[in-house]
Structure formats: C-alpha cells, structure tokens
Amino acid sequence: MPRFFYPLLSLSQFLAVTLVILSGYWTGHLLGGFAWDGSNQQFNLHPLLMILGLVFLYGDAILMFRIFRKENKTVVKVINMVMQAIVMICVVISLKAVFSYHRTKSIPNIYSAHSWIGLLTVLLFFFQWVVGFAGNMRDFQATDDERVVEE
C-alpha cells in the first residue's frame, strides 16, 4: 500500500466529517432546523441527507474494500452492504421530504437540471445497489470450491 494512503485517508475523513458538520450547522441552525410539516424546515432535510448519504457514507462504503483489504472479504462485503443500505435510506427520506415539500407548496417536481441529474444519479445508484446486492448474495451462497475457482 502506498505510504501516503493513510495520511490522505485521514485527511479525506477529516474533510468529509467537517463537511457533514458544517452542512448540519447550515441546515439545522442557519436555515431554521428540521420539521416534517411541509415548511422550509422540511426541505432542509434534503441537502443534509444527500450530503450525508451520497457523499460521506457512500464514499466510506467504497473505501471499506481498501481500508480492510486484509480482512475476511465476507465481513467487508457485509459492512459495505450495510453502509449502502443506510445510504439508500438517507436518499429515500431525502427525496420523500423534497417531493412532499414541493407538493405542499405547489411547486412542480423535476423541473430543473438539478432535479433531472439528481433523479438520474439516484436511479443509477439504486441499479448499482441492486446488482451489487445480487452479486454479493451469489457470493455468499457459493461453495468453497466455487470461491477458489473465482479467485
């Protein structure tokens, strides 16, 4: 492993945690907090959960294979799957919040480039998650002989 991996990993984690904290401060304090009542506070859930899910947790889920490269692959795959499931939950709650907010305020859904690119991103993430889940389930059910052949 390159000698700069762990220092760069530490730096990236520091920056990512800082991003999540600042986003939480921005949406939770400067924009008025969170609610589930159709107000602007409901919309505040969208940027925070998208940053938490698709930037921080999704990035860390990818890094699990590099960080734990000497660990049991089954354990690392389970960690990755759990983290990606949490990302999916963050994304679903975030989208529910923004679509519900738009419906309450009579704002059309999917009306900007941000909306279309975001929808495409979520669809591609979901497709990747389903294919990865199916592949991992196949690996979990494989016999020891089949694992040896694949490696």
Check pLDDT > 60 for residue 148. no
Mean pLDDT, range 117-122, rounded to an integer: 95
Residue type, 43: F
Check pLDDT > 60 for residue 150. no
**Average pLDDT across the chain, whole number:** 90
The HSE-up count of residue 27 (CA atoms within 13 Å, CB side) is: 20
Check pLDDT > 80 for residue 75. yes
pLDDT (tens digit per residue) in 40-73: 999 999 999 999 999 999 999 999 999 998 998 8
pLDDT (tens digit per residue) in 78-89: 899 999 999 999
**pLDDT band of 101, cuts 50, 70, 90:** very high
What does the pLDDT read at residue 99?
94
* Total length of the chain: 151
The HSE-up count of residue 68 (CA atoms within 13 Å, CB side) is: 15
What does the pLDDT read at residue 84?
93
Mean pLDDT, range 75-101, rounded to an integer: 94
Q: Which residues of 69-95 are buried (b: 16+ CB within 10 A; e: fewer)?
A: eeeeeeebbebbbebbeebbebbeebb
Which residues does 51 contact at the CB level (< 8 Å), separation at least 6? 19, 20, 23
Mean pLDDT, range 124-144, rounded to an integer: 83
Whole-prediction pTM: 0.85
| pLDDT > 90 in the chain, percent | 77
The burial of 120, by beta-carbon neighbours within 10 Å (0-12 exposed, 13-18 middle, 19 or more buried), is given as: exposed
Tell how many helices (H) and how many strands (E) occur in the chain.
Answer: 7, 0
Check pLDDT > 60 for residue 140. yes
